[in-house]
Chains A and B, each alone.
Chain A
C-alpha cells in the first residue's frame, strides 16, 4: 500500500507522507496530521501470538522464516538474470552459510536482501558468468556503497575468492541492450549486434592498452565504445553528425555523462595511431578520425609499434637538445628504451622520508632548475593516465632562515602573544622582585 493512491480518512487530502522519525514508519496526512496507517508494532496481537501446542513441544528447530524468504529471493534474482541451475544452487549454499554467521543474522532485512544479491554475484563470477555489481545494484535497487560493504564482508566471512571480470566479457551483454536492429530503427542506422560487439570489443582492448580503462567505471566506457563502433561501421554523413544524446535516445539506453569524456579520450588515442597509417597524407584530427577507425583497429598492433618508435625518437631528440644546454657533468641516461629494463638512475639506496617537496631528492638531472620535480614515468611512455601526465606539484616549504624576531605578527596570531591582565601583573611583580635584590646588592 504505497502512499501514492491513498486518501486521508479524516480530511480527504491525498498529501500523505512517510514519517519515519520515530521507532516505526507511519503514513501521515500533511494537512490534518491524522495517522493513515501504522507500522508493524500496532498490528501485534494483544495478548501475544497464539502458540500452538505442537509448536511448544516441537523437537526439531524450524528454519528461520527470513532465511527461507532470503533463499526464495536468491532464486528470484537468478530467474530474473536467467542464470542456470548450478549457479542458483551455489548461490543458495553461500547464502545459507553467510546467513548463519553472527554478522549477518541480526541485521536489517535490507542488508539481508543485499546479501542475497552478493551471493548471486559471487556464484556467477566463480562459474565464469560475467556479471557486474552494477547489474545486481539495478536488480535490487540498492545503494552502491551498501552493496560494496556487504560484498567485502561476505567475501571475508565465507573466505572465498572470485576471478576478475574484465570489461571485454561484459560488453557483449551490454551491446545487446541497445535496440538498433533492423526492426527498431531506420535502415540507415541499423546494425547487426554481432558485428557491433566485435568492433566494440576491439575498441575496448585498445582502450585497455592506453590507460583509459583502469580505474574508471565500466559502463561509460562501454557506451563510448559502442557509439564509436556504430559510427565507424558505416561512416556516412548522417551517422557522423549523430550526437551521443540522440544515439542513446534511439537505442533506448540511459546516457551516462562520463561517456562523452571517454569518447574524447578514445578519439585522441585513435588520432595518434591514425597518424602512423602510411596511406594517410594530411593531418588526422578528431573530427575526421572516425572513418579511419576500421583500418586503425585492423592494423592496431603494428600501428602501436610504429607510434612507439616515433615517440622514442622524439624523446631522444628532446633529451639530446636539453643535454647540450645543461652542464655535461651528469650523464643523461635515457631509461625508457624498450631494450633495457634495468634502472640506471641515481644511486641513493636509502628510502627517504620527507614532509615536503620530493623534487630535490630524485636523481634526474636538471641542476639549473632544482625546484622542478623529476619527470615521472608518464612522460616517457606513449600512453599514460591523466593523473600521471599532469602530476600534482607539491608545495615547497621554505625553510625559515634568519629569524630575527622583528617579523610582522598577523592579526589572528597576535592574541597568543599579548599578555592577559593577570600575566601582566605577575610579570610586573616578578620584575620588581628581580630589581629589588639588585638594588640591595648595590
Chain B
C-alpha cells in the first residue's frame, strides 16, 4: 500500500498570520482619525486596519508592532504587510519595514474516507488525544514539525503550523496513519 495511494490531496490554506515591525512609535489616534478603513479599539490599545486587496486585517499597536491576518498565502501576507506599511507611511509616520515573520498558517484538507477516531486515538497515544464530550475532533500534535492536526470523523482535517512547508509535511506524515484507521464505507 503506497503512502499516498496515487491520489491528489488538496490542501487549502485558509489563513496566514504574520507580524512585522515599523521601528517607530505610531500615534493610534492619528491613524484612527486620518486613516481609511480603520477601527479604533482604545480599551485594547490597538487599531484594526482592513485592506481590500489582498484581503487582510491588521492589528496595529502603538509600539510599532503589527499583526496581519487573513492572507491566503505567504507571498500575499508579505504583499499585504508592505502595502500596510506604505499606508502608514502616507499618513506621515517614519515607517521602516522590518522583522517580517510568518507566525502561523492554517490549512484545511479533506480525506476521501471517513476516520474511526477511537481506533486512531488508541493506536497513537499519547500523541493523539480525543475527548468526544469536549470537542468532536481528535488532536494530533507532531512535535518535530511543530504542527497540530485536528482530525474529524468525516475525514476533514485542519492543520496549523509555522509555515506552509510544515503544513504540507504534516499532512503527508498523517495520511498513512489515517489510512489505517479509516472507517469502512460499507458494513
Q: Do A and B truly interact? A: yes
Please indicate the chain B residues that have their CB under 8 angstroms from the CB of A209 in the complex: 187
Cα distance, A363 to B86, chains bound together (Å): 43
Could you say which residues of chain B place their CB within 8 Å of the CB of A308?
186-187
Distance in Å from the Cβ of B139 to the closest Cβ of chain A?
A: 9
Chain A 213-234 interface mask (CB, 8 Å, partner B; 1/0) = 0111110000000000000000
Within 8 Å CB of B153, what residues of A?
214-215, 385
Q: Are A352 and B9 in contact (CB under 8 A)?
A: yes
Verify B186–A338 contact, CB threshold 8 A: yes
Inter-subunit contact B133/A351 (CB<8 Å):
no
Interface string of B66-93 (1 = CB under 8 A from A): 0000001100100000010011001000
Chain A minimum-CB-distance residue to B53: A413
Chain B proximity mask over A130-144: 1 for CB below 8 Å, otherwise 0: 001110000000000
Binds B, one of A103-111, A181-189, A289-297, A339-347: A339-347
Interface residues of B in 1-40 (CB under 8 A from A): 2, 4-13, 36-37
User: In the complex, A332→B42 CA distance in Å?
Assistant: 60
Decide if B134 touches A343 in the complex (CB within 8 Å): no
In whole angstroms, how far apart are the Cα atoms of A355 and B106 in the complex? Answer: 11
User: Main SS of the interface on chain B?
Assistant: loop
A159 close to chain B: CB less than 8 A: yes
Within 8 A of B (CB), among A359-411: 361-363, 376-377, 380-381, 384-385, 387-388, 394, 410
- B103-138 vs A, CB cutoff 8 Å, 1 = contact: the mask equals 000000010111001100100011001111111100
Tell me which residues across on chain B come within 8 A of A155, comparing CB atoms. 129
- B155 pairs with A377, CB closer than 8 A: yes
Contact residues in A for B2 (Cβ distance below 8 Å): 349
Selected contact of B8 from candidates A164, A215, A361, CB within 8 Å: A361
- Known contacts A134-B133, A155-B129, A376 near B110 by CB under 8 Å: yes
Among candidates B53, B73, B133, B154, residue contacting A385 with C-beta atoms closer than 8 Å: B154
Q: List the one stretch of B56-64, B94-102, B142-150, B164-172 in contact with chain A.
A: B164-172
Give the CA-CA distance A348 to B90 in the complex, in Å.
48
Is residue B152 within 8 Å, beta carbon to beta carbon, of the partner chain? yes
Chain A interface size band reads 35 or more
Known: A155-B129, A388-B154. A355 touches B112 (CB 8 A): no
The interface size bin for chain B is 35 or more
Partner of B168 from A348, A353, A376, A385 at Cβ < 8 Å: A353
Tell me if A's interface is mostly helix, strand, loop or mixed.
loop
- Distance in angstroms between the alpha carbons of A391 and B13 in the assembled complex: 17
Residues B6 and A343 in contact, CB atoms below 8 Å apart: yes
Encode contact with B along A280-309: 1 for CB under 8 Å, 0 otherwise. Answer: 000000000000000000000000110010
Q: Which of A214, A350, A353, A420 contacts B136 (CB 8 A)?
A: A214
A415 on the interface (CB 8 Å rule)? yes
Please give the distance in Å from B73's CB to the nearest CB on chain A. Answer: 5
In the bound complex, do residue B171 and residue A351 qualify as a contact, i.e. CB atoms below 8 Å apart? Answer: yes
Query: Which residues of chain A have C-beta atoms less than 8 A from B113's C-beta?
Result: 377
The reply to whether A353 and B185 form a contact with Cβ atoms under 8 Å apart is: no
Nearest chain A CB to B123's CB is how many angstroms away? 12
State the CA gap A393–B158 with chains docked (Å).
Answer: 17
| A385–B7 alpha-carbon span in the complex (Å) | 23
A412, CB-defined interface residue at 8 Å = yes
- In the complex, the answer to whether B8 meets A352 with C-beta atoms within 8 Å is yes
Given contacts A215-B153, A377-B112, contact A351 B172 (CB under 8 A): yes
Report if A377-B36 is in contact (Cβ < 8 Å); known contacts: A133-B134, A352-B9: no
Which 6 pairs show the lowest CB-CB distances between chains A and B? Answer: A215-B136, A358-B10, A148-B134, A348-B8, A355-B72, A338-B186
Supply 16 A–B pairs (Cβ within 8 Å), ascending by A.
A134-B133, A148-B134, A152-B129, A155-B129, A161-B126, A164-B118, A214-B153, A214-B154, A215-B136, A217-B133, A218-B133, A363-B8, A376-B112, A394-B12, A413-B52, A415-B36
Chain B residues within 8 Å of A, Cβ to Cβ: 2, 4-13, 36-37, 52-53, 72-73, 76, 83, 86-87, 90, 110, 112-114, 117-118, 121, 125-126, 129-136, 152-156, 164, 168, 171-172, 184-187
